[in-house]
């Protein structure tokens, strides 16, 4: 059974940091591009960042460039999202997802290309 579990979300003040983790089981993430998405209340789910299967390349939503960093540890079957300088606009449920059709990332990150999803972790940025 394929399962993705996100962790690391929480409540943080503006300017703070969080590190999200996405751990996979029943699935070898090392062969596929993995992305983080987010969905704020009343908004569409949007692609935040993608990392290639090898970890050698990544892309980012414009609004998070320079603040977020995606990484992966294929030995641990885990993908991370380091989020710094958080803003209220980053408040959302964050999901990780695997694209079993790609080893490299597409730009933009398109939701319908992803076929395995986690349940999400809430990130709230508020003073």
The per-residue pLDDT for range 60-106, each reduced to its tens digit, is 999 999 999 999 999 999 999 999 999 999 999 999 999 999 999 98
Q: Write out the two tokens for 76.
A: 């641990």
DSSP 3-state assignment of 4?
A: strand
CA–CA gap between residue 14 and residue 7 (Å, rounded)? 20
* Whether the Cβ atoms of residue 18 and residue 10 lie closer than 8 Å to each other: yes
Which residues does residue 21 pair with via DSSP β-bridges, in sequence order? 7, 80
| C-alpha of 26 from chain center | 19
How large is the average pLDDT for residues 3-24? 97
How large is the average pLDDT for residues 17-27? 93
């Amino acid at each position: 059974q394929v399962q993705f579990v996100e962790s690391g979300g929480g409540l943080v003040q503006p300017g703070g940091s969080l590190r999200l983790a996405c751990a996979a089981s029943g699935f070898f993430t090392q062969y596929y591009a993995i992305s983080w998405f987010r969905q704020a209340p009343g908004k569409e789910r949007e692609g935040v960042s993608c990392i290639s299967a090898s970890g050698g390349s990544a892309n980012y939503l414009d609004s998070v460039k320079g603040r977020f960093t995606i990484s992966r540890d294929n030995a641990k079957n885990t993908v991370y999202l380091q989020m710094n300088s958080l803003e209220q606009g980053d408040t959302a449920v964050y999901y990780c997802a695997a694209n079993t059709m790609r080893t490299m990332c597409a730009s933009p990150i398109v939701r319908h290309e992803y076929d395995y999803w986690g349940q999400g972790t809430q990130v709230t940025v508020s003073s």
